[in-house]
Amino acid sequence: MTISKSLRIIGFSGFLRFVRKNVWGERLCDHAVARTTMVEKQSSVFVSSPLQSTATANDYWQLLKPRVMSLVIFTGIVGLLLAPGSIHPVIGLAAILCIAVGSGAAGALNMWYERDIDAVMDRTKERPLPRGKIQAGEALGFGLTLAIGSVVVMYTLVNFWAAYYLAGAILFYVLVYTICLKRITPQNIVIGGAAGALPPVIGWAAVMNETALLPWVLFGIIFLWTPAHFWALALVRHEDYAKAKIPMLPVVYGLEATKNQIFIYILGLIPLTLYPIYNGDFGLIYGAVALVLDILFLAFGIKVKLSQEPKEGVRLFFYSIIYLFLLFAAMVLDRYGGL
User: In this structure, are 146 and 236 located in the same domain?
Assistant: no
> 51 in a domain, yes or no?
no
3-class state of residue 23 by DSSP: coil
Which of 38-42, 89-93, 106-110, 114-118 shows the lowest mean pLDDT across its residues?
Answer: 38-42
User: In this structure, are 278 and 203 located in the same domain?
Assistant: no
CA-based Rg of the chain, rounded to a whole angstrom?
A: 22
> 48 in a domain, yes or no?
no
Cα dihedral: 33, 37, 40, 46 (round 10):
-130
Task: For residue 53, name the pLDDT band (cuts at 50, 70, 90).
Answer: low
User: In this structure, are 11 and 63 located in the same domain?
Assistant: no
Task: For residue 255, name the pLDDT band (cuts at 50, 70, 90).
Answer: very high
User: Rounded to an integer, what distance in angstroms lies between the CA atom of residue 67 and that of residue 249?
Assistant: 23
CATH number, domain with residue 99: 1.10.357.140
Domain with 203 in it: 57-208
| 28: pLDDT strictly greater than 60 | no
- How does DSSP assign 37-62, residue by residue? HHHHHHHHHHHHS-SS----HHHHHH
User: In this structure, are 77 and 186 located in the same domain?
Assistant: yes
CATH number, domain with residue 285: 1.20.120
Domain count, the chain: 3
User: Rounded to an integer, what distance in angstroms lies between the CA atom of residue 79 and that of residue 155?
Assistant: 18
Nearest residue to 276 (alpha-carbon basis) of 290, 262, 263, 292 = 290
> 171 in a domain, yes or no?
yes
Could you write out the three-class secondary structure of 136-157? HHHHHHHHHHHHHHHHHHHHHH
User: In this structure, are 326 and 312 located in the same domain?
Assistant: yes
User: In this structure, are 217 and 203 located in the same domain?
Assistant: no
Last-in-domain residue among 208, 239, 268 = 208
User: In this structure, are 248 and 154 located in the same domain?
Assistant: no
User: In this structure, are 219 and 185 located in the same domain?
Assistant: no
Whole-structure pTM value: 0.83
User: Rounded to an integer, what distance in angstroms lies between the CA atom of residue 66 and that of residue 190?
Assistant: 22
User: Rounded to an integer, what distance in angstroms lies between the CA atom of residue 177 and that of residue 189?
Assistant: 8
User: In this structure, are 276 and 141 located in the same domain?
Assistant: no
> 66 in a domain, yes or no?
yes
| Contacts of 175 by beta carbon, 8 Å cutoff, 6+ apart | none
> 78 in a domain, yes or no?
yes
> 13 in a domain, yes or no?
yes
> 232 in a domain, yes or no?
yes
Which of 86-95, 117-126, 288-297 shows the lowest mean pLDDT across its residues?
Answer: 117-126
User: In this structure, are 192 and 280 located in the same domain?
Assistant: no
3-class state of residue 125 by DSSP: coil
| 257: pLDDT strictly greater than 70 | yes
User: In this structure, are 259 and 300 located in the same domain?
Assistant: yes
Are the C-beta atoms of residues 206 and 92 closer than 8 Å to each other? yes
pLDDT for res 40: 43
> 263 in a domain, yes or no?
yes
CB atoms near residue 185 (< 10 Å):
16
User: In this structure, are 230 and 315 located in the same domain?
Assistant: yes
| 321: pLDDT strictly greater than 70 | yes
User: Rounded to an integer, what distance in angstroms lies between the CA atom of residue 198 and that of residue 79?
Assistant: 10
Last-in-domain residue among 157, 176, 208 = 208
